[in-house]
Structure formats: structure tokens, C-alpha cells
Chain A
Amino acid sequence: MKTAWIVNGVVMVAMVLGLWLGTKGMVGAAVHRLDHPDEAGVARAAAPVLTQAEQAYCTEGLKTVLRNVLTKCGLIGGGRKGCQPKELRNAAQIDDREFNALFAPLAKRGGVILFDPTKSELDAGSKAMIDKLWADQRGASWFFVVARASPDGKTEENEKYSHERANSVLFHLEDRFKDPDIEKKVGLLWLGEEFAQLGTDFCDWDRSRPDVACHRESEFAGMPKREAAKALAQQNKDMNRSAVISWIDCRL
């Protein structure tokens, strides 16, 4: 009987030792690895993060101008929205041609909202275009509205129309989308007749009134000079009673 209990003791001690060491070994190995994470774990810690879009056209030059416009026109840092023509001249610090060239890469992203002479009301086509382009935000943070007026009529009145056209776009966006952050997103510029009139380069852009013809300068070549000049002048008037709208895919 005594022998049997000695055997029992030996067997049980062996079992206890086995269980003790086995469990300790399994857990200990994992705990060691826990404090010495492998390289895969370190790599996982450096995953990319969500950022705003940054397209190839976002050159430092463009960003500087946009930043100036946004800062001086009240978008960055809150407060007043919009820029008047005189302020814009100082904010952009570039000439008309350079200013328009900044928007050239947005031809497929933006659109031109056209207005009737001496009017600032949006028609159905304009509203549809604004809705479509506004909805296509993707990774952009800033929505620019650059309103204009044609050079016919008085300068002061044209500036007023330009201002009202920019506001029409903003008010439509506010009514339609009820976005509480809209003022942080929309940059309004209203240009009078004296700054950065749209040229025929903008014929490539989608227009809210596709029936309004827009021809590149080369297309006027076959016409008699006088007729061509008249047609071009009319086209310039039509195209500048407008607001150019687009999201800007740049990180500022």
C-alpha cells in the first residue's frame, strides 16, 4: 500500500511539474514577444491617413494665390466672406491673364454659370449644374465661385451684378443643401468688368446654357474681320455675365 502511494506521489508530482512548466512556458514565450514586437507590427503603426486631395496642378504658385485670396477674402480664419475686385487685386497679386490661367486645369472639374443681361437670377440649368458640381466634392475642401459681369453698362452696376451673381450661387447652395459648414467651404469672388474677363479659353468648360455658342479664337478666322469682331464681342459679353464654379483639389 505504501509503495502504491509513493508511486502516486511520484506520478502526481511529475504531472504537476509538467502542467506548471508547460503553462508557464507557453505564456512566457508570448509575453516575451509582446515586449519585443516584430517589424510587421511596427510597419502597421505607420498606415497612411485620410487627407484632402492634392492634384498635380496644385503648384506652390497656385497655392500661394489661393491662400492669399482665401485669407484676405475671409474664408480661412472665419469672418467675412467674399472679395471685392479691388481687394482681389491686392490679394492675388497677379494680372488678369495669370489669374485666369490658374483656373485652366479645372476645365473638367468646374463649370460656367451663365446669366441674362442685367440679371442675377439662376435658371433651371444653372441650378442643376451647381447641384451636380457641388455634389462632386470628392477630396476637395474649397469651392470657388468667381462671378463676373460683362463690360457693357456702367462699371458700378456691373460690380453690383457680379456681387449678386456670386451671392445667387451661395444662396442656392445654402437653400438646397442646408450644410452648416458652407461658409467654411465656399470662396466668393466677384469681379467687375475691369479684372480678369473670361476669354475664349473658357469655351472648353461646361456651360449652364449649352445653347449659348462659344468659339475659340481660331474658329473666327474664316469670318470677315468685322463680323468676327462683332461675334467675339457678343460672345465675350455672354461668357462674362457668369460665375465660374469649381471645387479646388489642393491642400492649402
Chain B
Amino acid sequence: MRKLTYVFYVLAAAGALLGLWYSSVSTLDHTRHLDRQEHGMNCSLAPGFGEVSLLAGGQEGCKTALLSPYSSFWRDRHWGGVPYSLLAMGLFAFALALSVWGLAGGKGHRLAPATFLLLSGLAAATASAVFFSISVSKLHTICTTCAGTYLSSAILLIAAALAFLTGRSDRKNEAEPEAGGTTLLSLGVLAVEMGIATFLPVLVYLSTVPDYTKYVDPCGAGAGASAGTCVCEKLASSEGAGVVTGGAAGGPEAIMVIDPLCPQCEALHRRLGESVLGKTLSYKYFLLPLDAECLDWLLKDSMHPGSCLLSKSLICAGGQAEEMLSWMYDNLEELRKDGIGKQFDAMRQKVVAKFPGVKECIDLPDTKKKIWDSMQRFGIPNKIRIETPQLFVNGKRMCVEDTDLGLEFALARLLGK
């Protein structure tokens, strides 16, 4: 094996090591959330394995990617799904082991290792290209740690391709060329090793994660005292909840407790819109504006000033309510700024400019009364918590811990699927 091939193998090993590092950090970020608690992310091009505080900036891209349906598969079967980064870990680990083997034995130029190193690079780069295009087109953000994986894949692919090309002349000039049968055997062994390496982390993962059913359905038969912090909460009746409705007509009923200016509500609304099962639900929105204008007997200060005004607008929107809610969430930052700055006239003008039909209705006394009526008929009898968002499916409250990464799994369990 020539020096140049050695150099490319070292480069490939570096790319594989980097890829293994980034994919392990991504996996750790995912698995850390398996305790159903809030955690920071290691969102950096130089990530560590420690937990970064949620208050540290720059984590949004990785959080968005993690919570999106594109970070894992089988989400309806396993809480949080199986992270794709496990496959990446296995693939990069295999490429690293192959590089180390090629370097240590000096046989990296042989057809089998060179081919599988190239295959590893191609697989990693193809997956990176797919995930990068999803980031750009669907998530509209780039996860920095993922970018590190993309970069590693590129290094691995380039180094593996160059090693393959230089190895070809090495093979031609070899004094004792490898026999055809040996090459075939080598190819077969490496194919098995590559398969084992790539899928082993997934198999270990699946054998280690517990059944989360008892955690996500504390009202269910299997739930016991050890089923975490979430307690069973059932609705006595959904009557009075749906002043505003939406979703799939005729689908299973879901009641979503929302505040139009709550960022977590926007995030859950978006995730439900992306969720396979979430799209099948018929929604009743229970408006709980955490604004003293609407909740003066319970709140001294408004958590989301202006959300009472927006809730009234939603009531006035009638058949356009869901469209209006999506518009509010799309413009959440701007509307929140208006609210915090007490610029309620500006907020009202924005709503009316987009939905002129609600202009006269917003300030009618009946409009606010409908919010209070809904609280009296649904919120108070059902002892609804003063927090948003909340989701009730089949009359059972979804644990707040399951409203992000575990959403699809929890929906499937609460729907009895």
C-alpha cells in the first residue's frame, strides 16, 4: 500500500471518527430525552457529551430537528421512535474500524476494504444529502451537530474515493495479487460486518428501551404508582370545550387547551399538524388565555398580554378560526411583541387587516362571555389546569412529557392503537 493511500485512509479514519462523534452526540441528545424531561442539546460543531443548559443559546436548530418527525422512525411503536443517528453511529463505527484495519494491516488498497470504505462513504453522504435537504426544505433550519455529521460524511466520501482510486494502482502493482476467491470471501465478510455494525445499535436500543405505555396512559390498566409524575386525569364531559373547532371532520375527538400567544402551544399545534395520527383528529380548542383581561379572578399579572383579544378574535372568526389560529402562530413573535409592549391597538389592526370580518364582533360583550361560558361549562367542572398547552384525547389528558418527542406514541396509545 502506497504512502498516498495511507494518507487517504488516515483522512477517511478522521472523517469516520468525526462522524461517529457527531452521531453519538446526536444519539445522546435523543436518548437523554427518553426520561420524558426537558433537556438541553449539544448543538455545536465542537459538541461535548455533557448536557448543555436550556438557557444557552444556539440550540434551536438541533431542538427543531430532534422534535421533528424526521429525526427518528417507528414513532408510533416506540416512545420517541428509533433515532436515525443510531444507524449513522453504526456506519461511521464500521468505517472507522475498516480504516483502522486497513492501516494496521497495510491491506487497505485491496478491493474488499477499499470498496466497503467507499460504500460507507457513499451511504453516509447520501443520507447526509437527504437530511440536509429536509432541513432546508421542511425545517427551515440547520442543526449544527447534524451539519458536523454532513461534513464528516463528505470527508469520509472524498477520502474513501481517493483511497479507492490510489488503491487501484496499488493493486495493479502488487507482487502477489489477491486471488479472486479470497476477494469474494472478503467482500462477503465485510458485507456481514457492515450490516452488523449498522444495525447493532438499533437492535441494542430496541432491546433496552422499556414499554412506555404505563407512563403515557396513567389511566390505563398497566399504570401503577411508579409510572412517573403524570397522574390520570379524565374529562367528565367535553361539553362547552369547542367554541373554536378544526381538524379532520369525523375523526377521533381531541380537546386542545390553548393560548394564542403561547409558544409551546404553537409548537404543539405544529407538531400535531405534522403527526400522522395528529392529522386524523377532530379538534375542539378550549381557549385559556393567560391574560388577566380574561382571567382576572385567577391571574394578578398577564403571562401573555393580548391573548384575550386574540381569543375573542378566534371566537369571531367562526369557520375561519383554524386558519386564523395558524396565522397567529405563524406571526407569534410579532404578536407577542405587541402584547408585551401593550400595543393592543396594533395587534387588533393586524388581526382585522387579515380577517376584516371580525372587526365589529371582537368588542361585543357576548364575545368575551363565550370564553367565560366555556370556562364555566368545560374548564371549571373538569378542573382544567391553568397551563397551556394541554391535549385531551379520548377524554384522557396527555401527559405534558409526551407532547413533543413522544407525541406519536402517546397519541397511538390514547387512541387505543
Contacts and interface: CB of A to CB of B under 8 A. Distances in A.
B277 to A, nearest CB: 23
Interface stretch (B200-208, B243-251, B339-347): B200-208
A40 B36 CA distance: 12
B93 A15 contact: yes
B369 A135 contact: yes
Interface string A198-217: 00000000000000000000
Interface string B374-397: 011101100111110000000000
Contacts of A181: 376-377
A137 B369 CA distance: 7
Contact of A16 (B200, B230, B379): B200
Interface string B292-325: 0001111000000000000000000000000000
A137 B226 contact: no
A214 B288 CA distance: 41
Interface stretch (B94-102, B127-135, B150-158): B94-102
B385 A27 contact: no
Nearest to A41: B229
Interface size class of A (residues with CB under 8 A): 35 or more
Given A7-B101, A8-B101, A141 B376 contact: yes
Interface stretch (B23-31, B60-68, B327-335): B23-31
B369 A37 contact: no
A125 interface: no
A17 B313 CA distance: 59
Interface string A7-32: 11001101110111011101111110
Contacts of A177: 366, 369
Nearest to B366: A135
A179 B366 CA distance: 11
Contact of B27 (A14, A23, A45, A137): A23
A18 B200 CA distance: 11
Nearest to B367: A135
Interface string B86-115: 100110011011001100110100000000
A138 interface: yes
A223 interface: no
Most buried by B among A7, A19, A139: A19
A136 interface: yes
Contacts of A22: 24, 89, 201
A34 B215 contact: yes
Nearest to B384: A50
A49 B215 CA distance: 22
B86 A138 contact: no
Contacts of B205: 23, 27
Nearest to A14: B97
7 pairs of A and B residues whose beta carbons are closest in the complex: A135-B365, A53-B297, A30-B34, A33-B35, A139-B297, A41-B229, A15-B97
30 contacts: A3-B105, A12-B193, A12-B197, A19-B89, A26-B32, A27-B34, A27-B208, A27-B209, A29-B31, A30-B35, A31-B208, A34-B35, A34-B210, A37-B229, A41-B37, A42-B229, A44-B229, A45-B229, A49-B384, A50-B375, A50-B379, A50-B380, A50-B384, A54-B297, A132-B365, A135-B365, A135-B368, A135-B369, A136-B365, A139-B296
Interface of A: 1, 3-4, 7-8, 11-12, 14-16, 18-20, 22-24, 26-31, 33-35, 37-38, 40-42, 44-45, 47-55, 131-132, 134-139, 141, 177, 179, 181, 249
Interface of B: 24, 27-28, 31-37, 86, 89-90, 93-94, 96-97, 100-101, 104-105, 107, 182, 189, 193, 196-197, 200-201, 204-205, 208-210, 215, 226, 228-231, 288, 295-298, 365-366, 368-369, 372-373, 375-377, 379-380, 383-387, 400-401
Given A22-B24, A31-B208, 4 more contacts: A4-B105, A27-B204, A34-B35, A37-B228
